[in-house]
């Protein structure tokens, strides 16, 4: 254990009082948390003045760098008017503008926006809307959801019921709704021996079988389109989504796209569904919507879905949050959308995406796979022939520690080292990020 007299007094108070998410606090006995004093652009600065490149955009939320003057101005301008007001029986301009912009910028089938305050909740909203829609349209037997075994959609109990990762759900299994897990794409270990760049999503077969056999009781299917984040940035081709949309339409099953992590430019376009001409029934958004400034989420759906809730008092959708459509969050989200859509911003990502692809060659010779979708990239490390390292080696954690020494804030998913930097990162900074990460990996693997 690090002696307390060697640790900043505020860190000592943190260790006595604070319970951090997704953290085994025993690790803090040897490596205390970083006390970040300020953040600027793509960098975090600790109390000792050390600088860390924020490789993962502070849990995938930061788009335009920390402390951005335009976002700061949008926030303070709204603060001068109103910080918060309830959103039932009251509305306000920032929310109206944001809902209008989201509908205008997303596929044409969306007509309504329901605001909440975090990604898990935007998924809960989609699940509940789907269930209630079927109940109110005479198909109350549709009560289950199909989901991918590598899928992650949040950690509230409803979202966990469509989570395919044991690390999140096992301890709560007995109280989760009995939904339908489906073997999904694993392009690195493709059982058909195919390549994601040229296949026809032959791996769609398990999903097709599940939906056809259970169509009468399946309310919807939920997926993270193109990239399964928490599973280790597992990436798969858009043809899988095309097939999924087609069968959902033919069997009258709702299609839910969880674009919480992959929306707002992460894959190179504003939304995956927009870029690939797809029309899900529900679109769940959060994370980058405010560029990391304040909690906010949105669930988009069609006027057709909305119409089933319009009429009798008993038909209304009861799902409320004290901070729904918070004006400060909506104001920053509006400015974020302006910045994403003006001056061909998304086009400026193309050379950066190319730089990441070129930089991926730095990892040639390392066991595993370097994969990339737009501004998201990952290096999956394996022992040999796609065999994973034993968990007790904690290879990813050791790489995290090595990164801190070298000025990178990485947070590997198991033994997958991934990169989701702020979109404003430069090509030169991309080169530094990837070169330093490679050096960290080499240093750890060399130790054995």
* Segment 4-56, tens digit of pLDDT: 557 899 999 999 999 999 999 999 999 999 999 999 999 999 999 999 999 99
- Note the pLDDT of residue 314: 87
If asked whether residues 354 and 244 sit together in one domain, one would say no
* Stretch among 241-245, 294-298, 313-317, 334-338 having the lowest mean pLDDT: 313-317
10 domain residue, yes or no: no
CB atoms within 10 A of CB 205: 12
Q: How far apart are CA 301 and CA 125, in angstroms?
A: 11
- Dihedral (Cα; 417, 420, 425, 428), 10-degree rounding: 30
| Pairing of the two strands 112-116 and 297-301 | antiparallel
Same domain, 219 and 333: yes
CATH number, domain containing residue 83: 3.40.640.10
191: its two tokens: 């059982």
Kindly report the pTM of this predicted structure: 0.96
Report DSSP state, residue 31.
Answer: S
CA dist 422 and 66 (Å) reads 9
Tell whether 175 and 307 lie within a shared domain. yes
Q: What pLDDT is recorded for position 434?
A: 98
Cβ(352)–Cβ(425) under 8 Å? yes
Q: Is 204 in the same domain as 116? A: yes
Residues 272 and 236 in one domain: yes
- The pair of structure tokens assigned to 81 is 């008017």
Mean pLDDT over 178-182 rounds to: 98
Residue 448 has pLDDT above 90, yes or no: no
Output the domain CATH number for residue 56.
Answer: 3.90.1150.10
Count the neighbouring beta carbons within 10 Å of the beta carbon of residue 155: 17
DSSP characters over 225-263: SSEETTTTSEE--HHHHHHHHHHHHHHT-EEEEE-TTTT
Residue 306 within a domain: yes
Q: Terminal CA-to-CA distance of the chain, rounded, Å? A: 24
For residue 121, the SS3 value is: helix
pLDDT at position 387 is 87
Q: Please name the residue that has the structure tokens 């879905």.
A: 305
Pairing of strands 51-54, 408-409: parallel
Q: So what's the pLDDT on residue 129?
A: 98
- pLDDT at position 355 is 98
**Cα 57 to the center of its chain, rounded Å:** 11
Structural domain that includes position 430: 34-67+345-447
Tell me what the mean pLDDT of segment 215-233 comes to: 98
* Residues 372-395: tens digit of each pLDDT: 999 999 999 998 878 889 989 999
Q: Do 389 and 247 belong together in one domain?
A: no
CA dist 163 to 110, 120, 153, 154, 169, Å? 25, 11, 6, 8, 7
Is 184 found in the same domain as 107? yes
> Please, what is the angle between helix 395-405 and helix 427-447, to 10°?
130
Please, which residues have CB within 8 angstroms of residue 222's CB and are 6 or more apart in sequence?
123, 126, 127, 145, 146, 147, 151, 153, 162, 256, 258
Give the whole-number percent of the chain exceeding pLDDT 90: 94
Could you tell me if 155 and 243 lie in one domain?
Answer: yes
The pLDDT of 175-199, averaged and rounded, is 96
Boundary residue ending a domain (315, 341, 367): 341
Mean pLDDT of the chain: 96
pLDDT of residue 33: 96
Q: What is the mean pLDDT of residues 235-252?
A: 98
pLDDT per residue as tens digits for the range 278-293: 999 999 999 999 999 9
pLDDT at 248: 98
Q: What contacts 384, CB < 8 A, 6 or more positions away?
A: 367
Q: Which residues of 353-378 are buried (b: 16+ CB within 10 A; e: fewer)?
A: bebbeebbebbeebebbbbbbbbbbb
Dihedral of alpha carbons 55, 57, 63, 68, sign: negative
Pair (438, 360) in one structural domain: yes
Q: What is the pLDDT of residue 313?
A: 85
Question: Are 399 and 298 within one domain?
Answer: no
Q: What is the pLDDT of residues 95-144, one digit of tens each?
A: 999 999 999 999 999 999 999 999 999 999 999 999 999 999 999 999 99
Phi then psi for 191, rounded to 5 degrees?
-70, -15
**102: in domain:** yes
pLDDT at 3: 56
Query: Is residue 24 in some structural domain?
Result: no
Based on the structure, what is the number of domains in the chain?
2
Q: Give the domain-ending residue among 310, 341, 372.
A: 341
At residue 447, the pLDDT reads 82
Q: Is the dihedral of CA 401, 402, 407, 413 positive or negative?
A: negative
Check residue 4 and give its pLDDT. 59
111 and 87 both lie in a single domain: yes
Closest-CA residue to 259 (of 224, 297, 295): 224
Span 337-369, pLDDT tens digits: 999 999 999 999 999 999 999 999 999 988 799
- Does 401 reside within a domain? yes
Coil, strand or helix: which one is 114?
Answer: strand
pLDDT for residue 39? 98
Final residue in a domain of this structure, among 341, 364, 399: 341
**pLDDT reported for residue 312:** 87
| pLDDT above 60 for 2 | no
Q: Is 317 part of any domain? A: yes
Q: Are residues 303 and 360 in the same domain?
A: no
Mean pLDDT for 244-270 is 98
Positive/negative CA dihedral, 153, 374, 117, 10: positive
The answer to whether residue 281 is domain-embedded is yes
Asked whether residue 11 is assigned to any structural domain, the reply reads: no
Give the percent of the chain with pLDDT over 70.
Answer: 99
């Amino acid at each position: 254990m690090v002696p307390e007299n060697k640790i900043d007094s505020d860190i000592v108070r943190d260790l006595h009082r604070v319970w951090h998410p997704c953290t085994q606090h025993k690790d803090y006995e040897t490596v205390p948390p970083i006390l970040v004093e300020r953040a600027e652009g793509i960098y975090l600065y600790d109390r000792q003045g050390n600088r860390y490149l924020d490789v993962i955009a502070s849990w995938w939320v930061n788009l335009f760098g920390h402390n951005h003057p335009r976002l700061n101005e949008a926030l303070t301008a709204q603060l001068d008017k109103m910080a918060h007001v309830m959103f039932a029986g009251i509305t306000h301009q920032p929310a109206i503008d944001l809902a209008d912009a989201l509908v205008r910028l997303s596929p044409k089938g969306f007509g309504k926006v329901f605001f909440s305050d975090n990604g898990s909740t935007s998924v809960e909203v989609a699940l509940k809307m789907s269930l209630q829609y079927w109940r109110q349209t005479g198909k109350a037997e549709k009560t289950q959801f199909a989901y991918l075994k590598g899928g992650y959609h949040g950690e509230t109990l409803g979202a966990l019921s469509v989570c395919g990762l044991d690390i999140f759900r096992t301890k709560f299994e007995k109280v989760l709704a009995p939904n339908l897990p489906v073997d999904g794409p694993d392009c690195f270990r493709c059982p058909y021996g195919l390549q994601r760049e040229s296949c026809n999503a032959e791996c769609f077969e398990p999903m097709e079988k599940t939906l056809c056999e259970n169509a009468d009781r399946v309310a919807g299917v939920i997926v993270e389109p193109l990239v399964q984040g928490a599973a280790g940035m597992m990436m798969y081709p858009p043809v899988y989504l095309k097939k999924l949309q087609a069968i959902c339409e033919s069997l009258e099953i709702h299609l839910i796209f969880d674009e919480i992590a992959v929306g707002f430019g992460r894959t190179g376009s504003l939304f995956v569904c927009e870029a690939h001409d797809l029309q899900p029934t529900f679109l769940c958004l959060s994370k980058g919507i405010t560029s990391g400034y304040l909690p906010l989420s949105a669930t988009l759906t069609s006027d057709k879905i909305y119409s089933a809730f319009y009429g009798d008092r008993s038909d209304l959708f009861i799902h409320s949050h004290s901070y729904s459509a918070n004006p400060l969050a909506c104001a920053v989200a509006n400015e974020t959308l302006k910045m994403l859509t003006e001056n061909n911003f998304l086009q400026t990502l193309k050379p950066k995406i190319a730089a990441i692809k070129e930089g991926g060659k730095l990892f040639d010779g390392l066991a595993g796979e370097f994969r990339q979708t737009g501004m998201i990239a990952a290096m999956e490390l394996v022992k040999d022939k796609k065999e994973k390292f034993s968990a007790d080696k904690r290879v990813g954690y050791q790489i995290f520690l090595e990164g801190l020494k070298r000025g990178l804030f990485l947070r590997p998913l198991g033994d997958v080292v991934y990169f989701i930097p702020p979109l404003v990162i430069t090509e030169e900074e991309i080169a530094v990020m990837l070169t330093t990460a490679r050096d960290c990996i080499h240093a750890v693997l060399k130790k054995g």
